Structure 1
């Protein structure tokens, strides 16, 4: 009889059920399953077909197993019941440990994904957005497949984090290409993954990125508001906090709020200096560095109409492209030349302004989301009826 009772339990285990999971499938308590296996109780007639189905046997075989336990004593020592439940608890603990250790991911795969994201973020300033977006899409799809497979809890969180970063970069590229619906979807995905992983820096970057998008659409007050939200989320000492502060400064400059603009610039410079140099010597889109502080200061001051922008813009150009070869420019150099053109126009240094604008437009580094900045210079040159206006307009139309 004991052997028959064991065969019932063995059949349950062979079908992948613990006592607890079998009880859940049958919608009974675990003690009931224990009593069935020991022959202390019999299932109700309506329960037998489902038991047979779960155990993948014929009903007649189940009847035989259950009949073998019908002669069991009516009363069983409570210690034996506790001992039987404890044995199953031990097996469930082993099963949980096995599932925690079982993985289709592995640390090397995660390291490669994290390294790939850093490479993509570093390639961002010098790679056409449509080209980089294809690579980001492939990596996002791969992360999605891994999330559907077996993995440990630690691996699951790392996948959420790298998926959040990749989605954020994808959203940024869609914004650069003026693909609004795709950008929104990617940003929402990035926020969801960031919150699931409890990664506040990614979440802060999402708000900062949305601030940049609405700023390019001319909604400067909303951009300032989103930037402040990003600052409230970003952990202290992170690049996201610095970037969100810089974004607020640019929005305030467009609004003509001088005091608030200079305050933001001061905070950015202090935080950037405290952060020090990044681990990677190349530009990483999500790692702030002192050179970025220069570039954002140049733009902010140029938008405010402060002549001090010239010195900052020229230093950015000198640092990032000392050879002057526009074919090797990172995107920041093109932006710095647009900033330089704006400030030179305010000082009536018209030939220099047109030259700087022409270089920026012809560099091929002005993405669609920044076309409006180039157009501002073109329109300012046209308003002054300068002879260079037609050439500049032609270059701009070629850019579009």
Structure 2
């Protein structure tokens, strides 16, 4: 049974279901034809209205996804309209722009040699190219713009692995690295199934390469998929495995500290203040590591976000005074740090708006909320848009305030894809 059939069984039209969920009718239509998946907040409401569990909802959505792929004429994992000439031209144009942006920090001769090395399947060149792609991903306002070149790079890397050029383990490391980047692009675009699949592939390849830090980081990223749908218990299990792998990794890398930081988020989601505090203390030990604490690619935890992360954990736990103090400090730091990502600042602003909602302070909600919306639009970040949609759950009685109602309407227009 698919989503549309279940809806009809319960006697709902698309318009009625959309009204019950507070979405547009066309959104229901896109769910039913597999064009998009419901967001986490929408999933819970959809499951409730359809009188099914979240697991049963996934089963209802699966046929829709398959039909959507067939109607688009592409295979699972391929982008929509893959055979459309205009789309192919756009992808190639983006690929050229992204590669050019990734290599601008290199002399022209070295950049050309690097590209040639990648096409020859040279492991060291793959690793360097991946590092540049992570740099482009961090700087890109729209994370989705990086997708075409990541896909092309994966294709080239797969060809190199098939030919076993240059030795298997370095190429496996490069593949695990690139799969994690592909997962990050998918996750930011709210494509959770694609993100989870990419992270699972990264973990599997890391295991084959016996690359414990890479393996641990893949599991950490996979845990974020669980936390995005508030499955904090499952996330803690995944993070426990990541911690055990990190203990077998390179002690000079901050893998253990990053795992601890994300565990703090999971513990906060479970309402365990003591465990959250212990995990944050372990994460803060990153500040005592010597030398470079991040490799610029799949592992970027250097402690720069500890203040905002601690503030966000306190919001989850309802410790609003502690949260506000930390988040305002993070906001001041970001104002002094040119080039900070819109995604990070947008998350801090959303947390401050959430504090206002919990205090029933409409002025604080509207002030910070509107600024976060501006960043979400400027960056096309699905992550910030998802955070803002979750914020709407906190409004409660504030929905009667016309300013908050207008804010909610603006948030509803944001794309999370």
Answer whether TM exceeds 0.5 for this pair: yes
How far 1:108 sits from its partner (Å)? 9.6
1:395 paired residue number: 410
The gaps in structure 1 that reach 5 residues or longer are: 1-103
How far 1:382 sits from its partner (Å)? 5.1
If the length of structure 1 is used for normalisation, what is the TM-score? 0.65
Cα distance change on mapping 1:144 and 1:275 into 2, 3 Å: same
How far 1:323 sits from its partner (Å)? 8.4
Listed as ranges, the matches of 1:1-400 within 5 Å are: 109-127=122-140, 128-149=142-163, 151-153=165-167, 156-234=168-246, 235=249, 236-270=251-285, 272-275=286-289, 278=292, 286-306=299-319, 307-322=321-336, 329-364=341-376, 365=379, 367-381=381-395, 383-384=397-398, 385-400=400-415
Q: Secondary structure at the match of 2:395?
A: helix
Deviations for 1:136-176, whole angstroms, at most 9, x for unmatched residues? 111111111112235343xx221111111000111222222
Q: Secondary structure at the match of 1:340?
A: helix
TM-align CA RMSD: 2.9
The gaps in structure 2 that reach 5 residues or longer are: 1-116
Deviations for 1:187-238, whole angstroms, at most 9, x for unmatched residues? 2321222112110111111111111100111111111121111111112453
Alpha-carbon distance in 1 for matches of 2:380, 2:255 = 23
Deviations for 1:23-56, whole angstroms, at most 9, x for unmatched residues? xxxxxxxxxxxxxxxxxxxxxxxxxxxxxxxxxx
Mapped contact 1:249–1:262 kept (Cα < 8 A):
yes
4+ runs deviating over 6 angstroms: 104-108
1:48 paired residue number: none
Please say which structure displays the higher CA radius of gyration: 1
The worse-fitting range, judged by mean Cα deviation, of 390-399 and 224-233 is 390-399
Mapped contact 1:360–1:366 kept (Cα < 8 A):
no
Alpha-carbon distance in 1 for matches of 2:401, 2:298 = 37
Q: Secondary structure at the match of 1:380?
A: coil
Mapped contact 1:174–1:180 kept (Cα < 8 A):
yes
If the length of structure 2 is used for normalisation, what is the TM-score? 0.63
> Number of matched residues?
291
Mapped contact 1:208–1:227 kept (Cα < 8 A):
yes
Q: Secondary structure at the match of 1:159?
A: helix
Q: Secondary structure at the match of 2:275?
A: helix
The worse-fitting range, judged by mean Cα deviation, of 348-357 and 258-267 is 348-357
Cα distance change on mapping 1:106 and 1:138 into 2, 3 Å: closer
Alpha-carbon distance in 2 for matches of 1:122, 1:278 = 16
Alpha-carbon distance in 2 for matches of 1:374, 1:108 = 43
